[in-house]
Amino acid sequence: MKKFYLFIVLPALAVLMLTGCNQQTVMSAKQIPLEDFFRNPERSGYQISPEGKYYSYMAPYKNRMNIFVVEIGKNEPLMLTSDTARDIAGYFWANENRILYLKDTGGDENFKLLAVNADGSNPKALTDFEGVRTLIIDDLKDIPNEVIIGLNKRDPTVFDPYRLDVETGELTMLAENPGTIQGWMTDHDGKLRLAIAIEDGVNNSILYRDTENEEFRNILTTNFKESVSPAFFSFDNKLLYAISNLGRDKTAVVIFDPNTGKETEMLYENEDYDISNLSYSRKRKVITTASYTSWKRERHFFDKESKDLFARLSRDLGNYEFGINSATRNEDKFIIRTWSDRSLGAYYLYDKQSDELTKITEVSPWIDENEMAPMLPIQYTSRDGLTIHGYLTLPKGYTMDNAKNLPVVMNPHGGPWARDTWGFNPEIQFMANRGFAVLQVNFRGSTGYGRNFWEISFKQWGQTMQDDVSDGVKWLIDKGIADKNRIAIYGGSYGGYTTLAGLAFTPELYAAGIDYVGVSNLFTFLNTIPPYWKPMLDMLYEMVGDPVKDSAMLKKASPVFHADKMTAPLFIAQGANDPRVNIDESDQMVAALKEKGVEVEYMVKDNEGHGFHNEENRFDFYRTMEKFLNQHLMR
């Protein structure tokens, strides 16, 4: 299941009850069991070991995702972990023999780092500290027995960097965080030489040192609205490759000189979209690709060998999108992952020397992509003249020409400073399979469209950001796609806030709403953030609002104070251990609605956090949502 930005869910409806639908068109879609959309993948997260002897993956054991290893050329997998309380959060190869993985407790996001050998021996908890969160700073691919991690055990509000021996668990502190540093970076020799700090809450600084024996010195300070984001050191460890928007609206790939604190060369920019990622070849010591997202992910190639590799893979993989999940140290074997808007795709092993591309497994073989619906890129103009991009998914058999008077679910994304992207989304496909059209919109503030589009969202929760979503509803109605009396809004996190704001501020638009771990009160939200967000609190005040200086605006934008305007039925779901959106956000919204006599259904899971990850909780959640939407949109 993808990271929590958020999911979208829908009702199972009687296909013959759809207004304005052709019976033959609707019946052409085979109704697929709910569990097939939301069960754990059969196998996912494939990685190849550094020397290429093994590949590893995650698969269900007693309904929890655990780690398995297979020796290449053999078919018998070995299960390395057997956690039955919660999915393993993530893992990686520290060296050819040892795997490291992260897990938390009940969704509290206090991740612990554990290790186990590829043969299942020597399991060890490396950072088993109560109430402490572990971050991976650098997996040090060229240093087999060490990684660099961040821990907030000295001070819960900041992370100190440590060098960790993956065999013994020995920790060596590399620097003490003065309270402002939010990120650390090593050079190609594994030396900690760069840090990113937030000064005065709103200014970003790059701190640099020539060797680990020196003190860090400030080489550049900018307001957080401008940024130079170092990606990695040049291969002589003297300069930096970075992604920067200094003096420009869109981020671009640049070379940055830490000795002068200035950009020395601009290597690539796209006039329409931010560059989001920069890659390099560890073996050949060249930069390879820059990525950006239009309606799909796109790549700019810096060297011919990388371009030829992707062209070779495209020849066999056809119309599927794909990416390189992992590679051996010699870059002679690769794990390839495919996907599309109608498929979770498959994993392949590519042997460069033999030029063999071998399919390993389908991620969800029980899903027939021919029964899934295309995800169409759309755009419309907001009421104040902005171009808003998004994605419309129509039930199978419908096109933009014949889709009329459909029930619709609006699905605003979380973040809010994130974005929706093209690809397979189980929740959206479920809705489409049940006869819903689903609209996702990248409202102002969504990332990837430049600094101005992001910045104009500041202090606009419940205002112009909300207007962009409302304008999407009106676009659907004007196109004749939506039945104006059967539109629901559903989202999680910030999307949950947008759901509540939609029902409170534009009640005429929606017949029902579903809020998944959403913010209801901007005052209490800002007062209950995780401790490690506190250094960024002034930035949040500038982006969301200051509880003192902007108190009137925040009260006006907080749905909990406008429960008297909410008339549509509402379903709220919440994880009891959520560290980002405290359960009080949902509790107070439910109490306010009940006091006003508004129908509200409330689900709380005691073993979950910011989103439901355990399979049985997901099933319960989606069954309830299906029933709720069926009840309120199919009347």
Q: Say whether 49 is catalytic.
A: no
Using alpha carbons only, how large is the chain's radius of gyration in Å?
25
Does residue 95 surpass a pLDDT of 50?
A: yes
Per-residue pLDDT at 635: 62
The predicted-structure confidence for 251-297, as pLDDT tens digits, reads as follows: 999 999 999 999 999 999 999 999 999 999 999 999 999 999 999 99
Per-residue pLDDT at 265: 97
pTM: 0.91
Higher local confidence (pLDDT), 539 or 3: 539
3-class DSSP assignment, residue 308? helix
Angstrom distances, CA of residue 394 to CA of 406, 410, 463, 574, 618 = 9, 12, 28, 29, 24
Q: Say whether 493 is catalytic.
A: yes
Average pLDDT score over residue span 39-43: 92
Residue of 578, 586, 613, 632 with catalytic role: 578
Closest CA to 40 of 97, 92, 2, 96: 2
CA distance linking residue 454 with residue 457, whole number of Å:
6
CA distance linking residue 288 with residue 626, whole number of Å:
45
Q: In this structure, what token pair is assigned to residue 399? A: 């096109």
Average pLDDT score over residue span 442-457: 98
Percent of the chain with pLDDT over 90: 92
Per-residue pLDDT at 75: 79
Higher local confidence (pLDDT), 74 or 222: 222
Task: Catalogue all structural domains in the chain, each as residue range(s) with its CATH number.
Answer: 15-37+368-633 (3.40.50.1820), 42-164 (2.120.10.30)
Residue of 413, 562, 610, 613 with catalytic role: 610
Side chain identity at residue 454, one-letter code:
W
Four-point Cα dihedral 347, 349, 352, 353, nearest 10: -170
CA distance linking residue 295 with residue 160, whole number of Å:
38
The predicted-structure confidence for 544-600, as pLDDT tens digits, reads as follows: 999 999 999 999 999 999 999 999 999 999 999 999 999 999 999 999 999 998 889
Does residue 22 surpass a pLDDT of 70?
A: no
Average pLDDT score over residue span 99-108: 96
Mean per-residue pLDDT over the chain, rounded: 93
The predicted-structure confidence for 300-353, as pLDDT tens digits, reads as follows: 999 999 999 999 999 999 889 999 999 999 999 999 999 999 999 999 999 999
Indicate if the alpha-carbon torsion angle 476, 481, 486, 488 is positive or negative. negative
Side chain identity at residue 556, one-letter code:
K
Does residue 4 surpass a pLDDT of 80?
A: no
CA distance linking residue 185 with residue 192, whole number of Å:
6
Does residue 175 surpass a pLDDT of 90?
A: yes
List of residues 6+ apart from 282 with CB closer than 8 A: 141, 142, 329, 331
Does residue 25 surpass a pLDDT of 70?
A: no
Residue of 205, 227, 493, 586 with catalytic role: 493
79 beta partners: 68
Does residue 102 surpass a pLDDT of 70?
A: yes
Per-residue pLDDT at 633: 85
Q: Say whether 632 is catalytic.
A: no
Higher local confidence (pLDDT), 199 or 407: 407
Burial 563-576 (b: 16+ CB within 10 A, else e): beebebbbbbbbbb
Cβ–Cβ under 8 Å, residues 304 and 15 = no
CA distance linking residue 599 with residue 606, whole number of Å:
23
Name the pLDDT band for 73 (thresholds 50, 70, 90).
Answer: confident
Q: How many CA atoms lie within 13 A of 245 on its CB side?
A: 21
Name the pLDDT band for 2 (thresholds 50, 70, 90).
Answer: very low
Average pLDDT score over residue span 247-253: 97
Does residue 96 surpass a pLDDT of 90?
A: yes
List of residues 6+ apart from 364 with CB closer than 8 A: 36, 41, 42, 344
Angstrom distances, CA of residue 461 to CA of 464, 500, 523, 556, 588 = 7, 12, 13, 10, 19
CA angle 111, 52, 138 (to 5 degrees): 35
Per-residue pLDDT at 475: 98
Average pLDDT score over residue span 103-124: 96
